[in-house]
């Protein structure tokens, strides 16, 4: 993207922020009445047959979010996170301000979680499968478009749907580094567009972004993708049955990547128990001699023990087929896993 285009977008967004600051006003409440702390953590026992991994008690995720509605227009959000064995430290994950220009227009500035698609955008605390689809996250094997996490640094402008309408989406326009939570490695910035519809029966939407990524050796490659998704919630149009489908396609680290998943959900009717089954595919291709394919079946049961706690049991039967080396991994292997997880949320 040219510097002129990016500059125009940044100026427009920053002017919006200025309007928000100028219009901000106190409403009489004390500042400490507007501070809240929430979060969750996930602990698992994992039985796996993956090469180089062992059966393990795994402290998979922890998020602690501090939220401050200091006045009627400005909200500050800071999140500290610990994400999995590949990222064992507690780091600053999100740190941004949300300015409400009007009820319909808002701006986020800082280190912000992505608005891309459904699973990459949706918090893991409310997702039924224990891991995101390979095409969206995909660690440790197979790199998805958000394999280093959902947050990035930049500025995002949101237009909310007009109240009372049924056809307008939420529109999100973003300009960001494209380096996840790191400083940028070049002058180019990523641009993104997200359209999200929320209905009583579920959700659907489309996302697109385009930019570059600079790896640890200073090599710059294209990083771009588009995504489409739809979700039908249980107990709406199809009785206790719900479903979810998402497809993403793009380019990352010199490889063309695409993947999708389809998921069926069944509400048992107890108010606490949900059964789910998912099938997914993931493909990464550098050339005719370097490509990787993955497919898997996942079945699971989520049981809400208390309002604060959820117990999940899940089994995944997955298989890799590789030619050459993609993402530093060679050879075929299975990725079968049984996991039992306890999730505790607080607020």
pLDDT tens-digit map of 155-165? 999 999 988 77
Per-residue model confidence (pLDDT) at position 70? 75
Q: What is the pLDDT of residue 226?
A: 98
Residues β-bridged to residue 189: none
On whether the CB atoms of residues 9 and 175 are closer than 8 A, the answer is: yes
Domains, in order of start, for the chain: 3-346 (2.40.160.10)
Output b/e per residue, 149-167; b: 16+ Cβ within 10 A. bbbbbbbbbbbbbeeeeee
Q: pLDDT value at position 19?
A: 45
Query: Within the chain, where are the H helices?
Result: 3-23
Residue numbers in the chain where pLDDT is lower than 50: 8, 16-17, 19-26
What are the C-alpha distances in Å from 82 to residues 6, 109, 113?
A: 33, 23, 15
Rounded to two decimals, what is the model's pTM? 0.89
pLDDT score recorded for residue 26? 47
State the burial class of residue 36 (Cβ atoms within 10 Å of its Cβ: 0-12, 13-18, 19+). Answer: exposed
CB 296 within 8 A of CB 317: yes
pLDDT for the residue 20 = 43
Q: Which distant-in-sequence residues (6+ apart) come within 8 Å of 102 by Cβ?
A: none
């Amino acid at each position: 993207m040219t510097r002129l285009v990016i500059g125009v977008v940044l100026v427009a967004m920053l002017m919006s922020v200025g309007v928000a600051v100028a219009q901000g006003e106190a409403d009489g409440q004390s500042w400490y009445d507007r501070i809240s702390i929430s979060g969750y953590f996930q602990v698992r026992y994992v039985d796996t047959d993956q090469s180089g991994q062992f059966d393990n008690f795994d402290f998979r995720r922890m998020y602690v979010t501090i939220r401050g509605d200091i006045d009627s227009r400005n909200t500050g959000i800071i999140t500290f996170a610990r994400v999995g064995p590949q990222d064992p430290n507690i780091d600053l994950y999100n740190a941004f301000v949300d300015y409400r220009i009007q009820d319909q227009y808002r701006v986020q500035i800082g280190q912000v979680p992505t608005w891309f698609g459904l699973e990459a955008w949706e918090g893991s605390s409310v997702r039924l499968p224990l891991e995101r689809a390979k095409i969206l996250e995909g660690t440790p094997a197979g790199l998805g478009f958000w394999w280093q996490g959902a947050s990035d640094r930049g500025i995002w402008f949101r237009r909310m749907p007009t109240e009372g309408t049924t056809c307008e989406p939420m529109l999100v326009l973003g300009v960001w580094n494209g380096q996840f939570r790191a400083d940028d490695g070049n002058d180019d910035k990523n641009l993104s567009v997200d359209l999200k519809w929320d209905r009583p029966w579920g959700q659907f939407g489309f996302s697109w972004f385009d930019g570059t990524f600079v790896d640890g050796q200073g090599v710059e490659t294209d990083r771009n993708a588009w995504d489409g998704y739809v979700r039908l919630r249980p107990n709406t149009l199809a009785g206790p049955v719900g479903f979810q489908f998402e497809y993403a396609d793009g380019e990352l680290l010199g490889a063309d990547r695409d993947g999708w998943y389809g998921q069926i959900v069944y509400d048992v009717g107890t108010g606490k128990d949900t059964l789910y089954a998912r099938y997914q595919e993931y493909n990464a291709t550098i050339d005719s001699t370097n490509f990787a394919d993955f497919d898997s079946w996942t079945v699971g049961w989520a049981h809400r023990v208390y309002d604060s706690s959820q117990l999940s049991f899940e089994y995944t039967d997955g298989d890799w087929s590789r030619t050459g080396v993609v993402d530093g991994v060679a050879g075929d292997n299975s990725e079968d896993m049984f996991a039992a997880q306890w999730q505790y949320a607080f607020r």
